[in-house]
Amino acid sequence: MGMKPYWLAVLAYVVCTFLIAAPWHLVLFKPVYDELAIFTRKEPLIPLGLLSMLIQGLVLSSLYPLVAQGRHSAKTGAMFGLLMGVLLASSAVFAEAGKQNVTSLSTWLLLESGYYLFQFAVVGAIMGLVYSTVPSRGER
């Protein structure tokens, strides 16, 4: 695996995830999340969110080429993203709902599951495109 596509994929993951997550949670659906009362901190700690995105980007950018096995495309990336999104949502959405006193379990599960599917499909597709357009060392 060449390092250039890896770091471009990490950067794309962090930037795209932030551009999706911030408006989704802090603007578009903020009133719904406030009503659900699942987030108890008044102001989110953005640096911790960015650190989480960076860790995810580092790991997923390492895993993607292993799963894609040279078949890099937006479709392959989106399928990879959805698979990873389901894995991460099993903890962040479902397990969290089991530990927190959310006011509407069905609303939480639908809204946050929708977020995970959307976010990971988009960033996965972008990751597939990054790897498809930037030749790795072995392909040069």
Domain span at 99 = 3-139
Percent of the chain at pLDDT > 90 equals 79
| Of 114, 118, 84, 87, the residue nearest 106 (C-alpha) | 114
Q: What is the pTM of this model?
A: 0.87
Give the pLDDT score at 70: 87
The percent helix, strand, coil of the chain (3-state, each to 5) is 80, 0, 20
| Domain tally, the chain | 1
Give the pLDDT score at 2: 58
